[in-house]
Amino acid sequence: MAKELLAAHEAGRIRVAIGRASDYFGPRGLMTHMGERVFYPALAGRNAQVFGDPSLLHTFSYIPDIGAGLATLGLHEKADGRVWHLPNADTLSTQDFVDRVYDAAGTQGRAAAMPRVLVNLLALINGNVREIKEVLFEFEEPFVVNSDAFESTFSRHATSLDVSIPDTVEWFRSNPR
What pTM was estimated for this model as a whole?
A: 0.90
Q: What is the largest CA-CA distance in the chain?
A: 55
176 domain-assigned: no
Residue 166 has pLDDT above 90, yes or no: yes
* 8 Å CB contact between 80 and 17: yes
- For residue 126, the domain's CATH number is 3.40.50.720
Bigger pLDDT: 18 vs 120: 18
Residue 177, in any domain of the structure: no
* Count of structural domains within the chain: 1
Look up the domain containing 31 and give its range. 2-169
Percent of the chain residues topping a pLDDT of 70: 100
Please compute the mean of the pLDDT values over residues 161-174 and round it to a whole number: 98
Reply yes or no on whether the pLDDT at 37 is more than 80: yes
Q: Is residue 174 part of a domain?
A: no
Would residue 146 count as lying in a domain? Answer: yes
In a domain, 149, yes or no: yes
Contact 20, 85 (CB under 8 A): yes
What is the C-alpha to C-alpha distance for residues 123 and 40, in angstroms, rounded to an integer? 22
pLDDT at 115: 84
Residue 106 lies in a domain: yes
